[in-house]
Protein backbone atom coordinates (compact mmCIF):
# COMPACT_ATOMS: atom_id res chain seq x y z
CA UNK A 1 0.00 0.00 0.00
CA UNK A 2 1.26 3.49 -0.80
CA UNK A 3 0.41 6.99 0.41
CA UNK A 4 -2.14 7.58 -2.36
CA UNK A 5 -3.97 4.37 -1.47
CA UNK A 6 -4.06 5.50 2.17
CA UNK A 7 -5.98 8.59 1.07
CA UNK A 8 -8.36 6.54 -1.05
CA UNK A 9 -9.10 4.11 1.79
CA UNK A 10 -9.01 6.58 4.70
CA UNK A 11 -12.75 7.10 5.05
CA UNK A 12 -13.50 3.36 5.12
CA UNK A 13 -10.62 2.80 7.56
CA UNK A 14 -11.82 5.45 9.99
CA UNK A 15 -15.43 4.26 9.72
CA UNK A 16 -14.32 0.69 10.48
CA UNK A 17 -15.60 -0.51 7.10
CA UNK A 18 -12.29 -1.48 5.53
CA UNK A 19 -11.61 -5.12 4.73
CA UNK A 20 -9.46 -6.60 7.54
CA UNK A 21 -6.60 -7.45 5.15
CA UNK A 22 -6.57 -3.92 3.72
CA UNK A 23 -6.78 -2.52 7.24
CA UNK A 24 -3.71 -4.55 8.17
CA UNK A 25 -1.88 -3.34 5.04
CA UNK A 26 -2.79 0.26 5.82
CA UNK A 27 -1.55 -0.02 9.39
CA UNK A 28 1.67 -1.69 8.23
CA UNK A 29 2.26 1.18 5.81
CA UNK A 30 1.78 3.70 8.62
CA UNK A 31 4.44 1.95 10.72
CA UNK A 32 6.95 2.66 7.96
CA UNK A 33 5.55 6.04 6.79
CA UNK A 34 5.61 8.67 9.49
CA UNK A 35 3.85 11.35 7.35
CA UNK A 36 0.88 9.03 6.75
CA UNK A 37 0.72 8.13 10.44
CA UNK A 38 0.67 11.80 11.40
CA UNK A 39 -1.94 12.58 8.74
CA UNK A 40 -4.29 9.76 9.77
CA UNK A 41 -3.98 10.60 13.47
CA UNK A 42 -4.55 14.30 12.81
CA UNK A 43 -7.54 13.50 10.61
CA UNK A 44 -9.06 11.30 13.34
CA UNK A 45 -8.56 14.05 15.93
CA UNK A 46 -10.08 16.63 13.59
CA UNK A 47 -13.17 14.46 13.11
CA UNK A 48 -13.50 13.99 16.86
CA UNK A 49 -13.21 17.71 17.50
CA UNK A 50 -15.70 18.45 14.76
CA UNK A 51 -18.25 16.02 16.18
CA UNK A 52 -18.09 17.70 19.57
CA UNK A 53 -17.81 21.29 18.34
CA UNK A 54 -20.46 21.44 15.64
CA UNK A 55 -24.14 20.96 15.86
CA UNK A 56 -24.84 21.49 12.18
CA UNK A 57 -23.66 19.29 9.33
CA UNK A 58 -20.73 20.46 7.24
CA UNK A 59 -22.01 21.96 3.97
CA UNK A 60 -21.33 19.71 0.98
CA UNK A 61 -19.24 22.40 -0.75
CA UNK A 62 -17.02 22.84 2.32
CA UNK A 63 -16.65 19.07 2.66
CA UNK A 64 -15.55 18.76 -0.96
CA UNK A 65 -13.08 21.67 -0.68
CA UNK A 66 -11.60 20.21 2.50
CA UNK A 67 -11.26 16.79 0.89
CA UNK A 68 -9.56 18.27 -2.19
CA UNK A 69 -7.21 20.34 -0.02
CA UNK A 70 -6.18 17.36 2.10
CA UNK A 71 -5.69 15.19 -0.96
CA UNK A 72 -3.49 17.86 -2.57
CA UNK A 73 -1.41 18.29 0.60
CA UNK A 74 -0.78 14.55 0.85
CA UNK A 75 0.49 14.45 -2.71
CA UNK A 76 3.15 17.09 -2.01
- Count of residues for the chain? 76
What whole-number distance in Å separates Cα of residue 50 and Cα of residue 73?
20
For the chain, the structural domain boundaries read: 3-75
pLDDT in tens, the chain (76 residues): 899 999 999 999 999 999 999 999 999 999 999 999 999 999 999 988 877 775 677 789 998 998 898 888 888 7
Q: Comparing C-alpha atoms, which of 14, 38, 73 is closest to residue 22? A: 14
- pLDDT attached to residue 70: 87
What whole-number distance in Å separates Cα of residue 56 and Cα of residue 58?
7
Amino acid sequence: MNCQEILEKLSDYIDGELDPKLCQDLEKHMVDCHPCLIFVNTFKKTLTLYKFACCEPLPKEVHLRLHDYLKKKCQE
